[in-house]
Amino acid sequence: MSTAAYTPWGPDVAVSPGRLRAAIDRYVATINGRDPAAIAALFTEDAVQADPASNPPNVGREAITSFFENGIAASEGWVFEATDIHTCASTVAIDFTITVQLGTGSMVIRGIEVFEATDDGRFESATAYWDDADVTFA
């Protein structure tokens, strides 16, 4: 066994931790901008997105756009935060909180979302992990 330090970012990996963190910063800002087409543009044309993971996935930008159009229509506003970011090779996982403004109050979801990124920083997959135990209402 080698005693050399291992790093998952070798010369053949074009996505660096810094680029992944920048992609998440763009994702958070775009999610909070509530423009479904702009959000979907962060994904590859054939991306797979599931939110939560137990739901059937949205496949392709058109389906991802529709998913966010529905979420925007069902709420008065939201604030999405990536509270922690974890990177490894082309994968980035975030701990997130989203506070959704509803007509009579708000809903808070805390979860984890895992992304696979391409060399150009777009997401080819995104899967959110949360269930009813992660949801509170105020």
The answer to whether position 100 is within a domain reads yes
The answer to whether position 107 is within a domain reads yes
Tokens of 106: 């708000």
> Which helix (H) or strand (E) element contains residue 40?
helix 36-40
The answer to whether position 12 is within a domain reads no
Find the domain containing 93 and state its range.
17-137
Min mean pLDDT across 2-6, 57-61, 99-103, 130-134 is at: 2-6
User: Is residue 111 within 8 Å of 52, Cβ to Cβ?
Assistant: yes
Give pLDDT tens digits for 24-83.
999 999 999 999 999 999 999 999 999 999 999 999 999 999 999 999 999 999 999 999
pTM above 0.85, yes or no: yes
The answer to whether position 29 is within a domain reads yes
The answer to whether position 1 is within a domain reads no
Q: pLDDT at residue 16 above 70? A: yes
Average pLDDT value for the chain = 92
The answer to whether position 3 is within a domain reads no
Question: What is the rounded CA–CA span in Å between residue 14 and residue 74?
Answer: 38
> How many CB atoms within 10 Å of residue 76?
10
Q: Domain count of the chain? A: 1
> How many CB atoms within 10 Å of residue 8?
11
The answer to whether position 114 is within a domain reads yes
Question: What is the radius of gyration, based on Cα positions, of the chain?
Answer: 16
The most distant pair of C-alpha atoms in the chain lies apart, rounded to whole Å, by 60
129: domain CATH number is 3.10.450.50
